[in-house]
Amino acid sequence: MVKPAPSCPICGRLPSERYAPFCTPRCQEVDLGRWLTGVYRIPGPPAELDEDPPPSPEAA
């Protein structure tokens, strides 16, 4: 279990219950703006294919 640090991710102050995890609606907006402007990048799924390995010649 990983608990996020109990601080506003924008300014690092203690978050308000109302705006958690942010401390103020201002910080909430800042965070939202970052999402919208693409500062945060959502990593896609890894480009690895979980396929069965090719049959080993020894198994034949």
Residues in touch with Zn ion (CB under 5 A) = 8, 10-11, 23, 27
Burial class (CB in 10 A: 0-12, 13-18, 19+), 14: exposed
Specify the residue, 11 or 41, whose C-beta has the smaller distance to Zn ion: 11
Nearer to Zn ion, 11 or 20 (CB): 11
Whole-number minimum distance, CB 35 to Zn ion, in Å? 16
Which helix (DSSP H) or strand (DSSP E) does residue 41 occupy? none
Encoded amino acid at 41, one letter? R
Give me the count of residues in the chain. 60
Residue closer to Zn ion, measured from CB, 40 or 45 = 40
